């Protein structure tokens, strides 16, 4: 069991997407507890990668590949987790999506992986998400945090439109909203009434923890 969890961690640390999938399938085949495989393998690996990125020891391409490796392995392990009716203890529930008109996914994928690794339950709506879809899923899932990504200057205003719509629908009172993306900024977050802005995935995790009172 420990050998496989070490292998899962190694695949993330070495940015081995194919290897991560194979290791996850092996874990399922031999009956490794999927929760341990995630927590002791994948999550430890992505946290180490995130730490290296935060210190400037690695760069965005490596972080992207590590996140993709974890994502693909989770696609194998999470169904097994549900089948065995096991649940991860979570710090909170986060809903993520790239706003309407924007099809970029890399930054959001990294944020999702880092949040998952740090104990959050993450729901990813994907890219080019209409305002109505965000509202619908907030109402349905009742997340603690909504993360809005925009990588284009032309789609940035959609972040503000989502927030305003949530206010009108009475869904903003207990919901924290964080934003991210190349054209976004702390000043923009304040202007549209968001609760926080993350310049990268590491910051997104720190802000999410702070907003939910799980860290200083």
Tell me, what's the pLDDT at 82? 85
Q: C-alpha 121: how far from its chain's center?
A: 8
Domains of the chain listed by start with CATH number: 2-83 (1.10.1240.10), 92-211 (3.40.50.280)
C-beta of residue 72 within 8 angstroms of C-beta of residue 17: yes
| Residue 136 pLDDT exceeds 90 | yes
- Residue 216 pLDDT grade (very low, low, confident, very high; cuts 50, 70, 90): very low
pTM, rounded to two decimals: 0.83
- Residue 215 pLDDT grade (very low, low, confident, very high; cuts 50, 70, 90): low
The Cα 57–Cα 193 span in angstroms is 34
Task: Give φ, ψ of 176 to 5 degrees.
Answer: -90, 140
C-beta of residue 122 within 8 angstroms of C-beta of residue 94: yes
| Residue 15 pLDDT exceeds 60 | yes
Please state the rounded mean pLDDT for residues 92-119.
Answer: 94
How confident is the prediction for the chain on average, in pLDDT? Answer: 94
Please state the rounded mean pLDDT for residues 20-41.
Answer: 95
Least confident piece of the model among 82-86, 121-125, 183-187: 82-86
Three-state DSSP at 153 gives coil
Least confident piece of the model among 23-32, 59-68, 90-99: 59-68
- Residue 84 pLDDT grade (very low, low, confident, very high; cuts 50, 70, 90): confident
Cα angle 26, 31, 32; round to 5: 80
**Residues 139-190: tens digit of each pLDDT:** 999 999 999 999 999 999 999 999 999 999 999 999 999 999 999 999 999 9
> How far lies 158's CA from each of 66, 148, 165, in Å?
29, 9, 10
């Amino acid at each position: 069991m420990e050998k496989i969890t070490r292998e899962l961690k190694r695949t993330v640390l070495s940015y081995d997407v194919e290897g991560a999938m194979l290791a996850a399938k092996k874990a399922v085949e031999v009956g490794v507890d999927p929760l341990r495989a995630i927590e002791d393998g994948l999550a430890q690996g992505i946290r180490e990668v995130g730490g290296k990125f935060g210190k400037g020891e690695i760069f965005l391409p490596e972080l992207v590949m590590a996140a993709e490796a974890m994502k693909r392995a989770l696609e194998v392990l999470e169904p097994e987790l549900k089948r065995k009716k096991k649940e991860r203890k979570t710090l909170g529930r986060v809903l993520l999506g790239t706003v309407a008109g924007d099809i970029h996914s890399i930054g959001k994928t990294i944020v999702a992986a880092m949040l998952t690794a740090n104990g959050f339950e993450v729901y990813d709506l994907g890219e080019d998400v209409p305002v109505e879809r965000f509202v619908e899923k907030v109402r349905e899932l009742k997340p603690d945090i909504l993360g809005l990504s925009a990588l284009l200057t032309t789609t940035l205003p959609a972040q503000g439109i989502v927030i305003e719509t949530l206010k009108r629908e009475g869904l903003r009172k207990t919901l924290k909203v964080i934003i991210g993306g190349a054209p976004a900024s702390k000043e923009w977050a304040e202007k549209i009434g968001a609760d926080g802005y993350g310049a990268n995935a590491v910051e997104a995790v720190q802000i999410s923890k702070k907003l939910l009172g799980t860290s200083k």
